[in-house]
Amino acid sequence: MSICYDLHCHSTCSDGALSPADVVKRAHAQGVQCLAITDHDTFDAYEIARPTAEELDVTLISGVEFSCQWKGKNIHIVGLNVDVQHPVMKAAKCLMNERRLSRAKKIAERLEKLGVENAFAEAEANAAGGQIGRPHFAKYLVEAGYVKNLNQAFKRYLGAGKPGDIKQQWPEFEEVVGWIRQASGVAIIAHPLKYKLTRTKLREMCTHFRSCGGHGIEVISGGHQTPAETKALCDLANRFEFLGSVGSDFHKEGMSWQELGCIGTPNLSCTPVWSSWSSQQ
């Protein structure tokens, strides 16, 4: 039986719009049978969502999406099947949360200098107990009437080169891969096409990732990816003996190209990451 996997999505524990339980419910409704909620730098959603996943008979894989640096570029690495109780994982989560909180406070300071009042408090309220990110500031800017829509919030205040674009010193490639490996997880380069690297640079990054102990790459990220792009990434995975992972990168409803389960059950031309998960085959 073919199984629908979605191994990259987000909840309100980071910058997603739905609670962990509601992500599971929506995934189930969309036909997903094996799910990993991979919030940014936190795995809190795993424990919160487990009862709902068990109730709906959705196989829930523990996951996280860590930010890191490679040659000064911000790269995301997904960790799958990590031991969320491992001391290294707990320490990594604390470290990254501290850095994200510091970044949020700096964003608020810059916005307030531009006349945006109560920026931090309102963004914190929008985060509803999860991590505070730029989308939470953007939502407040719209709600308070500073801008008309979210796109305008990023264009004027939060996008690249704008006042709210705070450069963060994320850990290096090697450190993040080390965290995931120590916690018995699988380290995957998230959405490799999103970084807009040349073929040479992408191969260089994969070479480095492999040398660090990385396990694989996402060969499908979202429903907008073309078959040619998928084949190229599967070829890349085979070249480096990487496992191939797939995910929607779901954040919120209304985005069909990032809808949970939008990739269906593709027939990959590389070894899928779930090939070693005998119970889910």
Domain that holds residue 215: 5-84+172-280
Instruction: Tell me which of 114, 132, 158 is where a domain ends.
Output: 158
**Is the domain of 80 the same as that of 99?**
no
Within the chain, residue ranges assigned H as helices are: 20-29, 44-56, 87-113, 119-127, 134-143, 150-153, 173-182, 199-212, 227-239
pLDDT in tens, 145-204: 999 999 999 999 999 899 999 887 899 999 999 999 999 999 999 999 999 999 999 999
Task: Tell me how many domains the chain contains.
Answer: 2
> Could you give the 3-state DSSP secondary structure of residue 234?
helix
As a residue count, the chain comes to: 281
217 inside domain:
yes
Q: Return d(Cα 164, Cα 150) in angstroms, integer.
A: 14
Tell me if the pTM is above 0.85.
Answer: yes
57 inside domain:
yes
**Is the domain of 63 the same as that of 114?**
no
Q: Tokens 């860590």 — which residue?
A: 66
**Is the domain of 227 the same as that of 272?**
yes
- Please give the structure tokens belonging to residue 22: 């509601």
163 inside domain:
no
Which residue ranges in the chain fall short of pLDDT 70?
A: 1, 278-281
The pLDDT of residue 278: 54
- Please give the structure tokens belonging to residue 275: 């090939």
165 inside domain:
no
**Is the domain of 183 the same as that of 121?**
no
Q: Return d(Cα 244, Cα 272) in angstroms, integer.
A: 5
Amino acid identity of residue 62, one-letter, is S
pLDDT in tens, 257-277: 999 999 988 889 999 999 977
